[in-house]
Amino acid sequence: MYKTSQSGRGGLMLVLLLIILFISAVFFADGIFPKVSEESLNPKAGESVVVGGQSTDGTNTLQLQTVKFKDCLKTITVDLLLDRSGSMGSLTPSKQTKINRLKEAVLSLVSKFNDSSIIGIQSFNSLGIADDIPISFYKDVKNIIPKKVNALSANGATPTHDALAFSYEKLREAVAKPEFKDRKFNFIFISDGAPCPGIGCGGTAGQNQDPRIFDPNPADQIKDLGVNVFTLGIYDSYQAKDPELANLLKSIASKPENYYEANNADEVNGLLNAITAKICQ
């Protein structure tokens, strides 16, 4: 009996010891089920996260990004200023003109919008600056966008200052409209040439069209409206060696990372998509 009692107590002690070791391991490992961190419960604004023990694999990430992008398009607000100067008629490596590639890219971009998106389009050369699509809800202008965009043709010189000043006035009016008061405006300026000086630029004879020499600078006025400014330069082999257009477009953009460049116009569609994705981040 004595030996049996001692054996029973030994077994009980062993069980208790194992229980204590298990509890200690669970405690120091932060529990059997890991806690959800405060950071995951309070993600940064606009970010999508998966919590509750579900792993975020590539499929989940893609699904969340797709949902987020579609939600963004409901309220995306974009105004475009398009260069249609004569150099936009030059050919790309695919034997398409720059202006045709730009038109394709713009039509592809707006095809992703929905009725509550906001879109405006201005275009310019030294023969005239046009308010092609007044800044409006997409539902109100979607039927006329293809005709207006497809009608753009390349001619004349590049009155950059006057074009930016024109877009500034359109944006100033739009930002003040009550129906647009809760929207974040984005402005995309696309050009393939440095500002032209002299007669025929759409401004005063002999006046340089570089907006940086003006006070006020219309590019700065647009940014002062609270508009997020993106720029896209369309280069060819000659322009790629000249930093002047790049320096100008960088100065017009809200920040350096909002400046994009295409080595040729065949890349414009992809870069416009990249800008849209950045707007929706």
Per-residue pLDDT of the chain (281 residues; tens, 9 = 90+): 444 455 556 566 665 666 666 555 444 444 433 333 333 222 222 322 222 333 345 555 555 566 677 789 889 999 999 999 999 999 999 999 999 999 999 999 999 999 999 999 999 999 999 999 999 999 999 999 999 999 999 999 999 999 999 999 999 999 999 999 999 999 999 999 888 875 556 555 567 899 999 999 999 999 999 999 999 999 887 766 678 889 999 999 999 999 999 999 999 999 999 999 999 98
Long-range contacts at 269-275 (CB < 8 A, ≥ 24 apart): 269/101, 269/104, 269/105, 269/108, 271/232, 272/105, 272/106, 272/108, 272/109, 272/188, 272/232, 273/108, 273/109, 275/188, 275/230, 275/232
Beta bridge partners of 187: 79, 229
Cis peptide leading into residue 43 (ω within 30°): no
Length of the chain: 281
pTM of the model: 0.76
